[in-house]
Amino acid sequence: MPRCFTTAPPGSAGMWNSPWWTPGSHKNTLGRWAAREGKKRSMYAETRLSDARTLWRSLGGAGGVIPADGSVDLILRGGDLFLAGPSTRAITTLPDADGVSIGLRFAPGQAAATLGIDLAELRDTGAPLGDVLDPARTRELATRVRAQARNPGHDLLGGQPEDPWARETHRAARRAESASALARRLGWSERQLRRRMLARFGYGYAALIRIERAKRAHALIRSGTALAEAAARAGYSDQPHLTREFRRVVGHTPGEVSAAGD
């Protein structure tokens, strides 16, 4: 059984600043970040490698409550490689320790082909990668993450095929398409869809819809939309439904987000 963390793994504070939670926070390039690293400031930057993967670096990130985004991260901290499992609820992170953390984020549904592990067992947790993979495979992945950090202009994991049905499922969740409609379109039963979701994403389709619905609601609230209207436009049955689900996914209430934007 992997040695799991109840908070995000060490060195991961910066990477949990999700783009949809803090608009514009990830527009720096790694090159610009590296030029400013000597100032010893709290910095975070990322480079999108492909639709499936994003490379990020963090220095001096503060801890906090961070929203779920459904992704999976490999986090290289010093000589240790950690796995942050697929997130479906807000988590609390610890501050970064001294030094730079390097991470490779896999978009929802895109990590399983590379890692070859049961992601459902690591949902909303983290663990040293060596606890869930053999030592040789762990060393190989650590080497590839380091090489990727040195070559941010090229996706060195590009040989791993992206999963077309996973991308389509993610798009369907953004539209809030029903599980039955999606399953029919993919030529599967709903039971088959659930099994494949657990294997590829680490969670079910309903969880992915909740994440995407919270993103829509968050964007609406940040733009000044009234909470009742935001609830209706994002797809919640009513405002209490928004409050319950939003707090679980985002880690803050809609009212708190609205007040922070005033």
Look at residue 35 and tell me whether its pLDDT is greater than 70: no
Mean pLDDT of 42-65: 84
Structure tokens at 118: 């049961």
Look up residue 128 and give its amino acid. Answer: P
Structure tokens at 78: 């010093």
Look at residue 152 and tell me whether its pLDDT is greater than 90: no
Q: What pLDDT score does 190 carry?
A: 96
Count of all residues that appear for the chain in the document: 262
If one compares 25 and 233, the residue with the highest pLDDT of the two is 233
pTM (predicted TM-score): 0.81
Q: What pLDDT score does 24 carry?
A: 33
Q: What pLDDT score does 1 carry?
A: 39
Of the listed ranges 71-75, 105-109, 152-156, 188-192, the least confidently predicted one is: 152-156
Sheet containing 72-77: give its strands across: 43-48, 53-59, 100-106, 72-77, 80-84, 126-128
If one compares 95 and 152, the residue with the highest pLDDT of the two is 152
Look at residue 85 and tell me whether its pLDDT is greater than 70: yes
Q: What pLDDT score does 7 carry?
A: 47
Mean pLDDT of 104-131: 91
Q: What pLDDT score does 242 carry?
A: 97
Residue (of 124, 83, 79, 126) closest to 103 by Cα position: 83
**Which architecture does CATH list for 211-260?**
Orthogonal Bundle (1.10)
What is d(CA 137, CA 133) in angstroms, rounded to the nearest whole number? 6
Look at residue 63 and tell me whether its pLDDT is greater than 90: no
Give the rounded percent of residues in the chain with a pLDDT score beyond 70.
81
